[in-house]
Structure 1
């Protein structure tokens, strides 16, 4: 399967692929060229997906351990076989530099391998109940089981591995999923859904599509879906939790990561790691370094090591092997970050590096 030659990415519902609905062109944040085309699922499609996941739940949860492990093993092997094509698709649709995209695909291999191994370890527990004479000879068995179909909503910044974070545990325990990937970068998720389907996961036990936020509302409110797993912004995540009713809700939200550097630290190592942690994928990560607290005696020495490393970062084509930073996901995202920089300077911050924007590119910035 050479996905670099594939232009159309149909969505998956109940084991079938659909190219209906309004076409959606996904364009490269770097060049603006069309990377691929998918289709906008309608409210009727969303209903069919939820109904399929509800029906397929029994088939998924009754899969024996060896069968779930076999499917997960096939998924791992398929990702490994298509590693470079998948990395290229990530780079094209999200603007992530190809070296970083390869690392993401490698992490997805690890994520599904973890799912494969954990699928064999979903054990129960035997508990003695003879705590008083009336319960002599009695015992209890505790078993773990999937609670029901899952609604999964994923972000653009890790379009393969954060999807894997939802799907690998679901497959490991045997539950069905309705997946809504990020509208900015849905192609990698749809491609991964095809890999999972072709590995033998039951029809209807994975449904994946792009749709509008309005069409996606039943993923939050429909009681046939028992779990909501969301990765994205804090504002959206907490708002969804308020609407989710009796669902179990799993939220992985944004961060404001800080680094503390003491006077006895290895400053070369600290500077190197802060540059990597702060600017990988143009800082578009929930664990991106945003604040650095430096012990006063080494403040100037640390800056002398940090700033030259920042200035050496290469901005450019995500497919170029020498590129360190590609574009942000959109011009609007870069403009918003540039406004934050300007607001900080107006409030008294000193701009030590970067700060300039060119379309979707934002220079690596230190305040």
Structure 2
């Protein structure tokens, strides 16, 4: 088993710095301090932004193959440090070790995809002679880096969601400053350690753990040309309001639904729904929160879900057999526990789970929940799923849409026409057929609508956000 150091630095303008050890990061299972990191002060953040501004021109001048070499180096080093990265994630996030290893695999995939895309930043030749007045004119356009970017990443996927910002920025030649989540900063710091081994221009990157108040400094400064935030809707929309003229990409929350139609393979659906609802203790914005089951299979599938949920092993995330680990904090576990108790008090049936000890909350299933309960309307972001039944597929689609969120939805069906109806009618960023909404491949366009955010991630799509079109017109006569 890998070990952690007692103290970690921040990265300021490509270099490790240890101005203090003010940020304590706990082991989320034991709640003991696991390590300390440097905490960026306002003057450090200002210096990082200034460094990114200075790096903008040399970053833009880097050849595609040079940027690709940086990304390839990261892929190689992440593979070499696989066990260390997984263990660090298991400790700081409380993520079961198997899930932690899965996230490191996705981190590597994300940088590998970015390396491939870094040499595909295409433009277009465009005929302009659409009328007599434009005869003899030729047009073409290319994409150029938008400039210094600001990134704020969340606690629940501290490796891969940071990678979805860092890797495309390097691929297109944008310097950046990043604020990782203060509860889980180590993954981003290790990425900084690896990036510091490369020949990126000075100021190309800074990795700066900071207080929540520090988010304003990453948001309001006009020297920053783009803000990409992943986290809670309340914080995300507030930051957008403060961002000024810069484009803002928001990847926010959800209360994703999964439809189980009458013709679904229930054994297959069971394994995927259990994973979607409870992997990493449900702390995923696309975790399965609402399970909408056809009435003809409802009782059978409910009983299957309850039996499987009761069998899940909860405990120390470092144990390979553990499926349910701790939530990120006792406060978050207490919040969700309160929602569960409120739902039961309002008439819901507790099918299993519902007990909490500290930041450990049992995997919980509810049915007959009031449609206006927080457990239905809000984002649970924990090990809770709500069961309901339907008879008409169109009504089930309306139930999915009856949410202020719109990130992804899953549907288990063998009916092609229902698939196409769902693709047309569901007001979400993505629909997954015969799998859960939690499914994501790191090159696909990923993002939501309504309160779930703005814009799309997925390397090629993030690269488009981090570039601007620059047009060229040539008069040839």
TM-score (norm 1): 0.97
CA distance in 2, matches of 1:198, 1:285: 32
Q: Whole-Å Cα distance in 2 between the matches of residues 108 and 24 of structure 1?
A: 25
Aligned to 1:241: 240
Matches within 5 A, 1:156-195: 156-195=155-194
1:11/1:17 contact within 8 Å kept: yes
C-alpha contact (below 8 Å) 2:15/2:196 kept by paired residues: no
State the SS of the aligned residue for 1:189: helix
Q: Is the contact between residue 36 and residue 187 of structure 1 (CA under 8 Å) also seen in structure 2?
A: no
SS at match of 2:106: helix
Instruction: Describe the SS at the equivalent of 1:66.
Output: helix
Residue in 2 aligned with 1:104? 103
Question: Aligned partners of 2:74, 2:6: CA distance in 1, in Å?
Answer: 22
TM-aligned CA deviation for residue 204 of structure 1: 1.0
Cα distance, 1:188–1:3 mapped onto 2, change above 3 Å: farther
Report the equivalent of 2:212.
213
Moved more, 47-56 or 32-41: 32-41
2:96 and 2:343 map into 1 onto residues whose CA distance is 28
Query: Mapping of 1:282-293 within 5 angstroms?
Result: 282-293=281-292
Contact 2:229 2:250 survives alignment (8 Å): yes
Query: 1:5 Cα deviation (Å)?
Result: 4.2
Find the counterpart in structure 2 of residue 85 from structure 1: 84
The 8 Å contact of residues 14 and 192 in structure 2, kept in 1 or not, is answered as: no
How much has 1:165 moved relative to structure 2? 0.5
Give the deviation of 1:200 after TM superposition.
Answer: 2.7
Is contact 2:4-2:35 (8 Å) kept? no
Could you tell me how far 1:22 is from its partner in structure 2?
Answer: 5.0
Conservation of the 8 A alpha-carbon contact between 1:43 and 1:216: no
Following superposition, the deviation at residue 135 of structure 1 comes to 2.4
| Residues matched between the structures, number | 366
CA distance in 1, matches of 2:248, 2:4: 38
Greater Cα shift, 29-38 or 343-352: 29-38
Q: Paired residue for 1:355?
A: 354
Cα distance in 1 for partners of 2:349, 2:198 equals 54
Q: Deviation string for 1:18-61 (max 9, x for gaps)?
A: 11135222110101233221011111111101101111111111
User: Deviation at 1:308?
Assistant: 1.0
CA RMSD of superposed structures (Å)? 1.3
Q: Secondary structure at the match of 1:55?
A: helix
Distance 1:169 1:306 in 2: 39
Displacement of 1:221 in angstroms is: 0.7
CA distance in 1 between counterparts of 2:84 and 2:214 reads 31
Given the alignment of the two structures, is residue 364 of structure 1 paired with residue 347 of structure 2, yes or no?
no
State how far apart, in whole Å, the 2-side matches of 1:226 and 1:7 are.
36
Greater share of helix:
1
State the 1:251 CA deviation. Answer: 0.3
Determine if the alignment matches structure 1 residue 197 to structure 2 residue 222. Answer: no
Moved more, 35-44 or 134-143: 134-143
* Larger CA deviation: 264-273 vs 336-345: 264-273
Write the deviation string for residues 156-212 of structure 1: whole angstroms up to 9, x where unpaired: 000100000000110100001100000111111111111122133222111011111
Any idea what SS the aligned residue of 1:198 has? coil
Secondary structure (helix, strand or coil) at the match of 1:366 reads strand
- Whether the 8 Å CA contact 1:49–1:178 is kept in 2: the answer is yes
- The equivalent of 1:326 in structure 2 is 325
CA distance in 1, matches of 2:90, 2:200: 27
Q: Which runs of 5+ in 1 are unaligned?
A: none
In structure 2, the partner of 1:7 is 6
Structure 1 residue 126 corresponds to structure 2 residue 99: no
- 1:340 matches 2:307: no
SS at match of 1:215: helix
> Contact conserved, 1:197 with 1:203, CA < 8 A, in 2?
no
Residue 28 (structure 1) aligns with: 27
- Secondary structure of 1:202 counterpart: coil
Please state how far the C-alpha of 1:236 moved relative to its aligned partner: 0.9
Is 1:305 matched up with 2:265?
A: no
Preserved contact between residue 21 and residue 42 of structure 1 (Cα < 8 Å): no
What is the rounded CA distance, in whole Å, between the counterparts of 2:126 and 2:187 in structure 1?
A: 45
Runs of 4+ in 1 over 6 A off after TM superposition: none
Give the whole-Å Cα distance in 2 for the aligned partners of 1:226 and 1:365: 43
1:294 corresponding residue in structure 2: 293
What is the match of residue 65 of structure 1? Answer: 64
SS in 2 for 1:210: coil
Task: Map Cα deviations across residues 298-328 of structure 1 (whole Å, 9 max, x no partner).
Answer: 1110012111110111011111111111100
Q: How many angstroms does 1:146 deviate by?
A: 1.2
Deviations 1:241-266 (A, max 9, x none): 11111010000000110011111111
Look up the SS of the partner of 1:151 in the other structure.
strand
